[in-house]
Amino acid sequence: MKQAKNIWLSVLGFALIAAGIYLIRTVPDPQGILRALPFLLVGFGCGIFGHGLGELLAKKAAESDPETARRMEIDQTDERNVMIGNMAKAKGYDMMTYVFGALMVSFAVMGASWTVIIPMVIGYLFVHGYAIYFRVKFDKEM
């Protein structure tokens, strides 16, 4: 069942890539949503195709060498590796805070359109609100 899902994901991704390339090649002067749609199709198609094919190849590799599959499972669930991954995410989040803050200020100073700045501010505040929510939740639990 899982393998069939990955095959369908790969086929869907390939179809999205093909549809995007077809639209890029055939629509002479795109207007409105057709200006971005082909590139979105190619982007999402590449992501979906890569995910499906990667899962298929990983499953084939695990079937061919069970010892390596067991070691990979242990590596993925090992507490030390999970802690290292969480610490790396935390450092990335800290860096994102300063980088996006500087980007918003620089766009505002350059006089960029409000339609560019406001979504960035909303996204920035959403991420920080999400972090605060989980910080409070985890403080209550622990």
pLDDT of residue 17: 97
pTM of the model: 0.60
Write the CA distances from 13 to 25, 52, 79, integer angstroms: 18, 8, 34
- Residues 31, 107: Cα–Cα separation, whole Å: 27
Contact residues for 94 (Cβ-Cβ < 8 A; gap 6+): none
pLDDT of residue 1: 60
pLDDT of residue 71: 84
Ordered mean pLDDT values, 10 residues apiece, the chain (142 residues): 85 96 90 88 96 90 84 83 90 92 92 90 92 90 84
- Decide if 48 contacts 9 (C-beta within 8 A): yes
Paired tokens of 74: 């242990």
- Residues 8, 4: Cα–Cα separation, whole Å: 6
pLDDT of residue 21: 95
Paired tokens of 63: 């079937």
